Amino acid sequence: MVTSSHINAPVVLVAAVASGQGKTTATAALARKLAGMGRKVRVFKCGPDFIDPMLLERASGAPVKSLDLWIVGREACRAQLAQAALEADVILIEGVMGLYDGSPSSADLAREFGVPVMAVIDAGAMAQTAGALVHGLRDYGPVDMAGVIANRVASPGHAAMVAASLRDIPLFATLPKQARSLPERHLGLVLPSEVDGIDDILDQLADQLNFDEAAWSNLRSTRLELGDALAATGTDTEQPLAGRKVAVARDAAFMFLYPANLETLAGLGATVEFFSPLADQPVPAGADAVYLPGGYPELHAEKLARAQHWQESIRAAHRDGMPIVAECGGMMALADTLADRAGTAWDMAAVLPGRVAMQARLAGLGSQGMPTPHGVLRGHTFHYSTLETPLEPAVRTVKHPSGADGEAVYRLGSLTASYFHAYFPSNPAAVAAMFTRSAG
List, by residue number, the catalytic residues.
328
Supply the DSSP symbol for 21. Answer: S
Q: What is the distance between the alpha carbons of residues 40 and 231, in angstroms, rounded to a whole number?
A: 24
**In whole angstroms, how far apart are CA 115 and each of 84, 91, 103, 244, 429?**
14, 10, 18, 41, 32
Phi (first) and psi of residue 24, to 5 degrees: -65, -40
Contact yes or no for 54/66 (Cβ under 8 A):
no
**At 365, which helix (H) or strand (E)?**
strand 364-372
Angle, helices 23-36 vs 51-60, to 10°: value is 20
Region of residue 28 (left: phi > 0; alpha: psi -120 to 50; beta: else) = alpha
Q: Which among 122, 194, 200, 201 is positioned nearest to 158, based on CA atoms?
A: 122
Sign of the torsion formed by the C-alpha atoms of 431, 49, 392 and 348: negative
DSSP 197-258: THHHHHHHHHHH-EE-HHHHHHSPPEEEE-TTHHHHTT-----TTTT-EEEEE-BTTB-B--
